[in-house]
């Protein structure tokens, strides 16, 4: 009975939707997208309770349940700029400001490892001009960015850096060397990174060892693979929490092996608008989840 | 007189049950027709080729409704049959389900034993003539490290795969004793062993004519002893394309070591409903979201 009633109701709704869409297809789809986005925004409305204690730590969160490794997919800079009628480069600049604020918050709240997904190996084939403007924005920001070493942040870059322009590769090497001794927070920037490529290169490393007789195929274990992945720069390669902004409900070839047991949090907010309040919401959601790792 | 009354009441009772049966079958037929119309409308847009399900929440459902321990899983199986029926009516060609993870072996032995018993029973049910797999021409695959299973379950699984091997309309992949990291490691091991065998063959045969070119080719590959295609060829899930939608019930948004490699660009959908309570409306909502994102996602993919 219940299935019948819900089928009939859905049928009526879809007939209405189908009828309207067939007359004005393009406008209808845009309209329905906006309605769905509005509904999800309203249901995700954060109370914006950013009350902080005397030590700068939010009152709603519990220190002992804070994640050790947070990964973020910084998505939505271009769409944010389009909605505000700005250019893409202004979108990337706003995204970079949000990035610096975010790193500052992570240091303040003692989150030891933060991974940020800047762009993937697939993004390289996007219109060249948008990539050039993003690199230009990130380079000019990084040159004037003397704050990060002072915060005690250690920076590592993972991904297929050989495909980046030589000047950027050198900047990366310099930044990694300058910040080597940072102890407060380890910032892992994923540039031109693909999760499948990471697994393949780890397996190639292992296969080479097998070929030269250092390993038998039976010796291949999970810790061995993790030692070969690009996230070997840290001893906690698996994020506890993965945040993706701008409403896309996908991992998009970011950490695949590493996010086997990662809690995921999706928000429709665009990255330039991802502020302290939004981060508190994400952490609250994380702290309320029961993690069993399949055992219970 | 009493006998007549008794006879009368029995026949009245049987007429009533018969009319109730008729009512039920009428309702079922109307529901099926309404569903067909609904799916016809949905099919105007793109329909996903492959949907994967993580069936989470059976035990919580049993606890919530004060049922005995195994009852949640049995009701979960009924819900699974309904979802499969909807998927196949909608022409979704591939469906993958996460039945049992390698991590689940760490649960209490009694629970693991009863789950294995239920799985074996349901696999045998699938082989029967009137089961859903034969109704919709579904080929069944068991994906995972089957060596870790009991002999009886493994044999039942093999029998099911053989019995349904001639079906070709759709594919059902059941992940049992499976974790994605185990699958990838197994793929690497098998690729290494395969290349190792080829390498040894070359070494023992020397450089006879037919093998010279091959030896040169392998040498030219240099450090890349194995590549992406070698790994993909040895994955358990090589017979299916990557999932378009990955559904996890009970509101948890994590993959729990399921199809990590394959779900790189899958739409993730996590309704808060528990698995035994999942219904048609959740599937329709997932597909509508998939259709809404499809054009944007295809555009992004064409740029790649």
User: Tell me: the pLDDT tens digits for B275-298?
Assistant: 999 999 999 999 988 988 887 777
If asked whether residues B20 and B147 sit together in one domain, one would say: no
B42 contact residues in A (CB cutoff 8 A) = 14
Closest Cβ opposite residue B267 in set A204, A249, A295: A249
Only one residue has tokens 């393009």, namely: A26
If asked whether residues B26 and B58 sit together in one domain, one would say: no
Higher-confidence residue: B226 or A77?
A77
All residues at 6 or more sequence positions from A113 whose CB lies less than 8 Å from its CB, including other chains = A68, A69, A70, A185, A186, A188, A234, A236, A239
**Domain contains B61:** yes
Burial class (CB in 10 A: 0-12, 13-18, 19+), A44: middle
Q: Which of A18-32, B107-121, B243-257 shows the lowest mean pLDDT across its residues?
A: A18-32
Could you say which residues from 87 to 116 on chain B have a Cβ atom under 8 Å away from some Cβ of chain A? 101-104, 106-107
The yes-or-no verdict on residue B33 having pLDDT over 60 is: yes
SS3 content of chain B, % helix, strand, coil (to 5): 60, 10, 30
Cβ proximity of B100 and B115 under 8 Å = yes
Contact B225 A211 (CB under 8 A): yes
Site from B45, B106, B247, B253 to mutate, A interface, most A CB atoms within 10 angstroms: B253
Q: Say what the pLDDT of residue A2 is.
A: 60
CB pairs under 8 A between A and B: 164
If asked whether residues B90 and B158 sit together in one domain, one would say: yes
A15 CB near a chain B CB, below 8 Å? yes
CA distance B172 to chain A (A): 23
A20 contact residues in B (CB cutoff 8 A) = none
- The DSSP call for residue B272 is S
**Domain contains B11:** yes
The gap from C-alpha B175 to its chain's centroid, in whole angstroms, comes to 7
The yes-or-no verdict on residue A204 having pLDDT over 80 is: yes
Distances (CA, A) of A112 to A87, A258, B61: 35, 17, 37
**A59-105: pLDDT as tens digits:** 888 888 899 999 999 888 888 998 889 988 888 888 888 888 898 89
CA distance A186 to chain B (A): 24
Cβ proximity of A200 and B184 under 8 Å = no
**Domain contains B7:** yes
Average pLDDT for residues B263-273, to the nearest whole number? 91
If asked whether residues B56 and B28 sit together in one domain, one would say: no
If asked whether residues B133 and B8 sit together in one domain, one would say: no
If asked whether residues B131 and B31 sit together in one domain, one would say: no
Q: Which of A89-103, A150-164, B88-102, B115-129 has the highest mean pLDDT?
A: B88-102
If asked whether residues B171 and B248 sit together in one domain, one would say: yes
Closest Cβ opposite residue A259 in set B252, B255, B293: B255
In which element (H, E) is residue B269 found? Answer: strand B267-269
**Domain contains B218:** no
**Domain contains B263:** yes
**Domain contains B40:** yes
Closest Cβ opposite residue A261 in set B34, B257, B280: B257
A222 contact residues in B (CB cutoff 8 A) = 181, 185
Q: Which of B9, B28, B44 is the last residue of a domain?
A: B44
B264 CB near a chain A CB, below 8 Å? yes
If asked whether residues B164 and B19 sit together in one domain, one would say: no
Q: What ipTM was reported for this prediction?
A: 0.80
Q: Say what the pLDDT of residue B207 is.
A: 44
Confidence band of A163 (pLDDT split at 50, 70, 90): confident
If asked whether residues B140 and B13 sit together in one domain, one would say: no
In which element (H, E) is residue A79 found? Answer: helix A77-84
Contact B268 A251 (CB under 8 A): yes
Q: What is the mean pLDDT of chain B?
A: 83
A225 CB near a chain B CB, below 8 Å? yes
Range of the domain at B9: 1-44
Number of neighbouring beta carbons within 10 Å of residue B177: 23
B101 contact residues in A (CB cutoff 8 A) = 294
Q: Which of A115-119, A234-238, B69-73, B196-200 has the highest mean pLDDT?
A: A234-238
If asked whether residues B137 and B163 sit together in one domain, one would say: yes
Q: Any idea which residues of A carry the catalytic annotation?
A: 75
A181 CB near a chain B CB, below 8 Å? no
The yes-or-no verdict on residue B240 having pLDDT over 70 is: yes
Q: Say what the pLDDT of residue A261 is.
A: 92
Cβ proximity of A180 and A154 under 8 Å = yes
Kindly tell me the number of DSSP H helices and DSSP E strands found in chain B. Answer: 10, 6
β-pair type (B245-248, A113-120) = unpaired
Packed helices A88-108 and A128-143: angle between N→C axes, nearest 10 degrees? 40
- Rounded distance between C-alpha atoms, residue A107 and residue A148, angstroms: 10
Q: Which of B26, B44, B62 is the last residue of a domain?
A: B44
If asked whether residues B24 and B54 sit together in one domain, one would say: no
Dihedral sign computed on CA atoms, order A243, A244, A245, A248: negative
CATH number of the domain encompassing residue B125 = 3.40.1180.10
CA distance B17 to chain A (A): 18
Contact A260 B280 (CB under 8 A): no
Phi and psi (nearest 5°) for B149?
Answer: -90, 165
Cβ proximity of B148 and B173 under 8 Å = no
If asked whether residues B56 and B29 sit together in one domain, one would say: no
- Rounded distance between C-alpha atoms, residue B292 and residue B286, angstroms: 10
Q: Which of B44, B61, B76 is the last residue of a domain?
A: B44
Q: Say what the pLDDT of residue B283 is.
A: 93
CA distance A34 to chain B (A): 11
- Rounded distance between C-alpha atoms, residue A147 and residue A135, angstroms: 19
**Domain contains B114:** yes
Query: Count of domains in chain B?
Result: 2
A218 contact residues in B (CB cutoff 8 A) = 189
**Domain contains B15:** yes
The yes-or-no verdict on residue A138 having pLDDT over 70 is: no
Contact A217 B304 (CB under 8 A): no
Confidence band of B83 (pLDDT split at 50, 70, 90): very high
Higher-confidence residue: B250 or A216?
B250
Q: Say what the pLDDT of residue B204 is.
A: 60
């Amino acid at each position: 009975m219940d299935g019948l009633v819900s089928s009939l109701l859905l049928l009526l709704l879809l007939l209405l939707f189908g009828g309207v869409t067939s007359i004005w297809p393009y406008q209808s789809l845009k309209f329905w997208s906006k309605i769905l986005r509005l509904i999800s925004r309203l249901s995700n409305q954060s109370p914006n309770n950013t009350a902080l204690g005397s030590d700068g730590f939010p009152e709603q969160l519990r220190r002992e349940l804070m994640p050790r490794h947070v990964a973020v997919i910084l998505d939505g800079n271009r769409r944010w700029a389009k909605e505000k009628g700005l250019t893409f480069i202004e979108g990337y600049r706003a995204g970079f400001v949000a990035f610096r604020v975010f790193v500052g918050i992570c240091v303040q709240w003692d989150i030891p490892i933060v991974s940020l997904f800047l762009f993937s190996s697939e993004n390289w084939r996007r219109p060249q001009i948008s990539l050039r403007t993003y690199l230009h924005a990130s380079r000019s920001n990084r040159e004037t960015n003397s704050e990060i070493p002072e915060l005690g942040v250690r920076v590592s870059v993972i991904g297929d850096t050989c495909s980046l322009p030589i000047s950027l590769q050198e900047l990366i090497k310099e930044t990694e060397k300058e910040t080597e001794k940072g102890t407060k927070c380890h910032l892992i920037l994923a540039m031109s990174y693909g999760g499948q490529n990471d697994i393949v290169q780890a397996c190639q490393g292992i296969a080479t060892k097998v070929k030269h007789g250092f390993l038998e195929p039976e010796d291949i274990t999970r810790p061995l693979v993790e030692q070969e992945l690009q996230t070997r720069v840290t001893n906690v390669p698996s994020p506890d929490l993965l945040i993706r902004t701008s409403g896309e409900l996908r991992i998009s070839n970011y950490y695949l092996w590493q996010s086997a047991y990662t809690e995921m949090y999706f928000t429709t907010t665009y990255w330039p608008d991802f502020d302290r309040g939004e981060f508190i919401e994400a952490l609250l959601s994380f702290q309320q989840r029961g993690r069993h790792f399949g055992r219970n | 007189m009493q006998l007549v009354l008794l006879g009368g009441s029995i026949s009245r009772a049987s007429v009533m049950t018969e009319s109730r049966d008729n009512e039920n079958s009428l309702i079922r037929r109307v529901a099926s027709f309404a569903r067909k119309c609904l799916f016809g409308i949905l099919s105007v847009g793109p329909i996903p080729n492959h949907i994967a399900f993580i069936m989470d929440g059976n035990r919580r459902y049993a606890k919530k409704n004060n049922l005995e321990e195994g009852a949640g899983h049995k009701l979960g199986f009924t819900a699974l049959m309904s979802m499969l029926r909807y998927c196949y009516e909608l022409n979704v060609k591939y469906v993958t389900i996460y039945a049992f993870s390698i991590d689940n072996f760490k649960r209490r032995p009694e629970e693991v034993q009863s789950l294995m018993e239920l799985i074996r029973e349901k696999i045998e049910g699938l082989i029967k003539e009137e089961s859903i797999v034969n109704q919709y021409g579904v080929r069944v695959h068991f994906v995972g490290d089957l060596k870790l299973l009991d002999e009886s379950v493994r044999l039942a699984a093999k029998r099911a795969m053989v019995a349904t091997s001639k079906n070709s309309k759709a594919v059902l992949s059941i992940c049992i004793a499976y974790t994605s990291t185990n699958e990838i490691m197994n793929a690497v091991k098998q690729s290494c062993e395969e290349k190792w065998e080829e390498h040894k063959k070359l070494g023992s045969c020397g450089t006879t004519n037919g093998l010279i070119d091959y030896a040169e080719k392998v040498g030219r590959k240099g450090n890349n002893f194995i590549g992406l295609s070698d790994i993909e060829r040895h994955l358990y899930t090589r017979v299916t394309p990557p999932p378009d939608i990955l559904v996890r019930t009970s509101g948890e948004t994590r993959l729990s070591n399921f199809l990590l490699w394959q779900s790189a660009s899958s739409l993730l959908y996590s309704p808060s409903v528990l698995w035994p309570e999942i219904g048609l409306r959740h599937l329709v909502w997932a597909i509508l979201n998939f259709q809404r994102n499809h054009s944007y996602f295809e555009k992004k993919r064409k740029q790649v």
